[in-house]
A and B are shown apart, each in its own frame.
Chain A
Amino acid sequence: MKNHSAVDIFLSFYAWCCAFILTSAVLTILGYLLFHGLSSLNLDLIFAHTPVMDALFLKKQVFGGLLPAITGTLALIFLSMLFALPVGIATGIFLSEFARSGTRKILGLMFDIMASLPSIVVGLFGFAVTIFLHQHFFKQLYPCLLISALCLAFLVIPYIIRSTQIALESLPPQVRLTGPALGATRTQNLWYVLIPMAAKEIIGGIILAIGRSAEDTAVIMLTGAVATAGVPNSIFSGYEALPFFIYYTAAEYANTSELMKAYGAALILLFICGGLYLFAYWIKRKVR
Chain B
Amino acid sequence: MKKTKIKVQDLNFFYGPHHILNKINLDIPAGTITAVSGPSGQGKSSLLTALNRLWENIDGARATGRIWIDFGKGLEEISKKEYNVHHLRQKVGMVFQMPNPLPMSILKNMQFPLKLAGISKNMVPEKIETALQQAHLWEEVKDRLSSDAQMLSGGQLQRLCIARSLVIQPEVLLLDEPTASLDPASVEKIEQLLLELKSRCTIVMVSHYMDQIRRIADRNLLLSNGNLSLVTTKEQ
Q: Which residues of A contact B (CB under 8 A)?
A: 173-178, 180-185, 188, 192-193, 196-197, 288
Contact = CB atoms under 8 A, between A and B. Distances in A.
Contacts of A288: 103, 148
7 contacts: A177-B58, A177-B96, A178-B102, A180-B57, A181-B96, A183-B113, A183-B117
Contact of A183 (B90, B97, B98): B90
B84 to A, nearest CB: 9
Of the listed residues B58, B87, B97, the one surrounded by the most CB atoms of chain A closer than 10 A to its CB is B58
Contact of B112 (A173, A177, A192, A197): A192
B102 A193 contact: yes
A177 B57 contact: yes
B103 A196 contact: yes
Given A177-B57, A181-B94, A182-B165, A196 B89 contact: no
B116 interface: yes
B103 A182 contact: no
Contacts, number: 55
B182 interface: no
A176 B94 CA distance: 13
Contacts of B141: none
A76 B4 CA distance: 66
| Interface hub of A173, A174, A180, A188 (most chain B Cβ within 10 A) | A180
A197 B148 CA distance: 13
A183 B86 contact: yes
Given A181-B89, A183-B89, A183-B116, 9 more contacts: A177-B57, A178-B100, A181-B94, A182-B90, A182-B93, A182-B113, A183-B87, A184-B116, A196-B103
A188 B89 CA distance: 14
Contacts of A180: 54, 57, 89
Given A174-B100, A193-B102, A196-B102, A182 B57 contact: no
Contacts of A184: 86, 116
Interface string B190-209: 00000000000000000000
B104 interface: yes
A-B interface, 6 closest residue pairs, ranked by CB to CB distance from nearest: A183-B90, A183-B89, A181-B94, A182-B113, A183-B86, A180-B57
Classify the interface of chain A: helix, strand, loop or mixed. helix
Contact of B103 (A174, A181, A197): A197
A192 B103 CA distance: 9
Interface string B77-117: 00000000011111001101110101110000000110011
A188 B103 contact: no
Interface in B103-150: 103-104, 112-113, 116-117, 148
Nearest to A186: B57
A182 B96 contact: no
Contacts of A176: 57
A182 B112 contact: yes
Q: Which of B57, B104, B117, B164 has the most CB of A within 10 A?
A: B57
A37 to B, nearest CB: 40
Nearest to B165: A182
Contacts of A175: 100
B46 interface: no
A91 to B, nearest CB: 21
A203 B165 CA distance: 31
A185 B112 contact: no
Nearest to B89: A183
Interface in B163-186: 164-165, 168
Given A174-B96, A176-B57, A183-B113, A192 B89 contact: no
Given A176-B57, A188-B116, A182 B98 contact: no
Contacts of B87: 183
B45 to A, nearest CB: 10
A181 B52 CA distance: 8
- Which has the most chain A C-beta neighbours within 10 Å: B89, B97, B165? B89
A185 B118 CA distance: 13
Nearest to B108: A192
